[in-house]
Amino acid sequence: MIPFTLVTKNLAKHKLRFVLTVLSLAVAIFLLCVLRSLVVALNAGVADAAANRVIVQSRVSLFVQLPQSYGPKLAQVDGVECFARWNWFGGYYQDPSNFFAQFATDPKELFDVYPEIYLVEGSKADFLANRKACVVGAETAAKYGVRVGDTFPIIGALYPTADGSAWDFQVAGIYRSKKKSVDENTLFFHYEFLEKSLESGFASGPSGVGIFVLKVAPGFQPVEVMSEVDAMFENGPQVVQATSESEFQAQFVSMVGNVPLLVSSIGGGVMIAILLAVLNTMLMSAREQTRDIGVLKALGFTDGSVFGVLILQSFVLCGLGGLLGIVLAKMSEPAVVKGIGSMFPGYQVTNPTLLEAVGATAAIGFLAGIAPALRARALSVIDALRAVR
Amino acid sequence: MALVPLSYNLRSLAVRWSATLLTVFGIGATVAVLSGVLALQQGFETLFSESGREDVIVFLRQGATNEGDSVFSLERAQILMKTLPEIAVDEKGVPLVSAEMYLAVRRKKIDGGESYVPIRGVSPLSFDIYGDGVRIIEGRRLVGGADEVIVGKKLVNRIRDCQVGRTLTLNTTPFEVVGVFDSDGPFASEIWGDRNRIGEALERPVQSRIVAILKEGTDLAALAERMDSDPQVPSKVLTEREYLTSQTQALSFVLKGLGFFLALVMGTAAVFTATNTMLAALASRTYEIGILLALGYRPHAIFLSFLFEALVLGLAGGAVGCLMALPLNGVDTGAMNFQTFTEVAFAFRVTPQVMVTAVVFAVMLGLIGGTWPALRAASMRPTEAMRRV
């Protein structure tokens, strides 16, 4: 039998120490959750990739544009229902620090290939009708206060205009996405607008197509489409690489370098630091309770219940700290998304992350409590009662 | 003013050795994580900024922030190279100027996955310009006009087909690897080939930047201003050092931000731990404090005494943290240069600056954590303190 009131009473004896330990644990668990969520954010695009999309890019480099003439040839491939061209625009709003993604794309096909995109404001018809129109992700629209009907001037760093002015895009809609495969921080505008602007000399920059995104018709195998596309351009002029969407997204993850390793090293350091802190607290309070343990044992409590009193204190302490940390991480989610959402679209404190946090908390509780608890169990009544604080 | 002998504090720390050790290692782990992140940032920054020369100047397209963005047509590059009296000449009267083509290309890593490697198309004059900055350490220099490349030393063990004797295929053209070169800067992570051959293989008949050696005594600011509004080839002029330093900004910003965030969050937890330890130290020494006060030590002497003890804890934690981070020094790692999306290999650098930051940070943690307990110690009354056992 474990005297549970003793567990809480002992913890409450040194209120300040209790509060500080709980808070430092909360901070550490919060940090673990945030770090883990950053890795989740990096992988969000991979996890939510659609199986029926094939991405065609240059095999040499993502920075090499493919010829326009590839489009009609790709449309001939068996199983290709339709495709959207994507071209990186690389501009910014007013100042280079206001950087977000813009793509020139085929407006109608964009919605066909990406059914997860839907407009929350504005109309698709307006977007399709006006060549200068664009749709803006809800996050970006909120960040810069852009509304439907506004002109959104974007300076083309990669596509500078001849007179140095901005590209005036007209906002026809605000979109959201049902999946993380498309983030809500992007601006899409008409590929034709870019193409015509380059032809007319309004602006200069790389011509061609960044990537072709193919939609594979039901009943066809994406893998077969990929190998057919690869073979089609094997002898140039530009060799291509056709991949699934998840592979395409994964290349960005590997490009950023070994972030998971960096994050786990930091996480390891945090765990060690916090384990030492909780262990410190537990050892202190166990030492102070030596006499109480003697009394308990003299009263007839078994070694097992004494062990329980000590280890439960550790678990209660860590449980509270961990819970607080988890709540903190979950509550800070919108703020983090607002702050670094354009760098880490798809930042989300997921349930698996929370489960990991619970696991880490339990591990710390066990490791910090086991030594004092074992010592208490082994202590003889005489020694315990004789102990001086 | 009589101060409490410092040996009193040192002995007290030794008596409570388990709590002391746990606190020291807790602070140590915190400091080690921070030092690791800072050492990463230092390694990256040193690689770039310290290898750049002041007498080598770089021409970029106006508005371009890096050579990946910068484009000069072949004609414009020729005009620029032929019309500048500020460029130094070699003993035969040849101007030391060279156009370079730069592209990040996708290559397979030896241990799996892909990485973006910069490929640089150079001319024979490039080697004269960089001089000792580029040293062949295996094989030979590439011959102009041939389908040959030389590879940076950092690629040899990392990227597939980057070893002497191997063949590296770019788009559809095979290039033979004839040499390995070393460089103190980011060049050591690049592939170099003949400018025209690389341009043809990649179907990129453009140049990315122009490098030259400046005549001694030239006014760079005047040249930069003139080129900014040059009617034929408006361009941005900066020294190689300025250029390379500008390349580190994005990653340095991210790493410094991460370091600051970690320091703040983990530091909070470490301060709480230090407070706990000092409070426990205080609780077990109330009687002694009473004696000290009775002996005639003033409260502020007691305050300083306890603060000193906390300072020692912090200092020891800082030392332990540095020792833990020190093995990182010189360890090779890679990170992405966000400006060009290429992976650069470099080594962690635990510089004196990193260590000083770490120790100062640790001492601050100790002091902040010790202030409240020290204040409590100083406010005790001798009679009460001595009565408490």
Cβ–Cβ under 8 Å, residues B128 and B96: yes
Q: Which of B17, B31, B33, B38 is the mutation pick for testing A, counting most A CBs within 10 A?
A: B33
Region B289-308 average pLDDT: 89
Supply the pLDDT for residue B343.
Answer: 82
When pLDDT is cut at 50, 70 and 90, the band that residue B365 belongs to is very high
Mean pLDDT of chain B: 88
**φ, ψ for residue B204, nearest 5 deg:** -125, 85
Q: Which of A131, A60, A134, A127 is nearest to A93 (CA)?
A: A134
What are the C-alpha distances in Å from A361 to residues A19, A262, B29? Answer: 16, 21, 18
For the beta carbon of residue A291, count every other beta carbon within 10 angstroms: 14
Region B318-324 average pLDDT: 93
Supply the pLDDT for residue B269.
Answer: 87
- pTM of the predicted structure, to 2 decimals: 0.81
Burial class (CB in 10 A: 0-12, 13-18, 19+), A299: exposed
Supply the pLDDT for residue B153.
Answer: 92
* Alpha-carbon gap, residue A318 to A337, rounded angstroms: 28
| DSSP annotation of B295 | T
Residues in a beta bridge with B116: B106
Q: What residue type is assigned to position B331 of the chain?
A: V
Q: Find the angle CA(B353)-CA(B355)-CA(B358) to the nearest 5 degrees.
A: 110
Radius of gyration over alpha carbons of chain A, in Å? Answer: 30
Q: Within an 8 Å CB–CB cutoff, is residue B206 touching chain A?
A: no
For the beta carbon of residue A97, count every other beta carbon within 10 angstroms: 7
Contact B272 A20 (CB under 8 A): yes
Contact A277 B270 (CB under 8 A): yes
Coil, strand or helix: which one is A376?
helix
User: For B259, which residue in chain A has the nearest alpha carbon?
Assistant: A266
ipTM exceeds 0.90? no
Supply the pLDDT for residue B1.
Answer: 60
Contact residues, A window 169-198, toward B, CB-based 8 Å cutoff: none
Q: Which of A125, A96, A113, A107 is nearest to A193 (CA)?
A: A107
Contact residues, B window 151-180, toward A, CB-based 8 Å cutoff: 170-172
Question: Does residue B329 register a pLDDT over 80?
Answer: yes
Q: How many alpha carbons fall within 13 Å on the CB side of residue A192?
A: 11
Q: Which two tokens stand for residue B313?
A: 């804890």
* Alpha-carbon gap, residue A291 to A381, rounded angstroms: 9
Contact B22 A64 (CB under 8 A): no
- Enumerate residues 6+ apart whose C-beta is below 8 A from B261: none
Q: Within an 8 Å CB–CB cutoff, is residue A235 touching chain B?
A: yes
Supply the pLDDT for residue B389.
Answer: 54
Summarised one tens digit per residue, pLDDT across range B113-152 is 788 899 999 998 899 999 888 999 999 998 888 899 999 9
What are the C-alpha distances in Å from A151 to residues A43, A98, A162, A201, A389? Answer: 33, 16, 20, 22, 74
Query: Using a CB-CB distance cutoff of 8 angstroms, which residues of chain A are in contact with residue B18?
Result: 283
Q: Which residue has the tokens 């300083």?
A: B304
Q: What is the pLDDT along chain A (389 residues), one digit of tens a residue?
A: 677 888 888 888 888 889 999 999 999 999 999 988 888 888 877 888 888 899 999 988 888 888 888 988 888 888 888 889 999 998 888 887 788 889 999 999 999 899 999 999 888 888 999 899 999 999 889 889 999 988 999 988 888 888 888 899 999 999 999 888 888 889 999 999 999 998 888 888 888 899 999 998 888 888 888 888 888 888 878 889 899 988 888 887 777 767 778 888 888 888 888 888 888 888 888 888 888 888 888 888 888 888 998 999 999 999 999 999 999 999 998 888 877 776 777 788 888 899 999 999 999 999 999 988 998 888 888 888 887 65
User: For B35, which residue in chain A has the nearest alpha carbon?
Assistant: A266
Question: Does residue B40 register a pLDDT over 80?
Answer: yes
Contact residues, B window 97-126, toward A, CB-based 8 Å cutoff: 103-106, 113-116
Q: Which of B202, B203, B282 is the mutation pick for testing A, counting most A CBs within 10 A?
A: B203
When pLDDT is cut at 50, 70 and 90, the band that residue B90 belongs to is confident
Write out the H or E segment, with its range, that includes residue A171: strand A167-177
The minimal CB distance from A27 to the residues B115, B202, B265 is found for B265
The minimal CB distance from A280 to the residues B32, B202, B276 is found for B276
- Enumerate residues 6+ apart whose C-beta is below 8 A from B127: B134, B141
Q: Within an 8 Å CB–CB cutoff, is residue A257 touching chain B?
A: yes
Q: What residue type is assigned to position B309 of the chain?
A: E
* Alpha-carbon gap, residue A333 to A340, rounded angstroms: 11
Of A78-82, A376-380, B47-51, B310-314, minimum mean pLDDT range: B47-51
Cβ–Cβ under 8 Å, residues A325 and A24: no
What does the DSSP assignment read for B303-369?
A: HHHHHHHHHHHHHHHHHHHHHHHGGGTT-EEEEEETTTTEEEEEE----HHHHHHHHHHHHHHHHHH
Cβ–Cβ under 8 Å, residues B198 and B170: yes
Cβ–Cβ under 8 Å, residues A64 and A222: no
Supply the pLDDT for residue A331.
Answer: 92
Query: Using a CB-CB distance cutoff of 8 angstroms, which residues of chain A are in contact with residue B30?
Result: 269, 273
The minimal CB distance from B25 to the residues A23, A256, A276 is found for A276
Contact B106 A59 (CB under 8 A): yes
Region B172-201 average pLDDT: 91
* Alpha-carbon gap, residue A159 to A65, rounded angstroms: 14
Closest chain A C-alpha to B48 CA, distance in angstroms: 18
Query: Using a CB-CB distance cutoff of 8 angstroms, which residues of chain A are in contact with residue B170?
Result: 60
Supply the pLDDT for residue B314.
Answer: 94
Q: Which of A14, A32, A61, A159 is the mutation pick for testing B, counting most B CBs within 10 A?
A: A61
Region B216-243 average pLDDT: 86
Supply the pLDDT for residue B369.
Answer: 92
The 3-class SS string of B7-61 reads HHHHHHHHHCHHHHHHHHHHHHHHHHHHHHHHHHHHHHHHHHHCCCCCCEEEEEE
The minimal CB distance from A28 to the residues B18, B269, B275 is found for B269
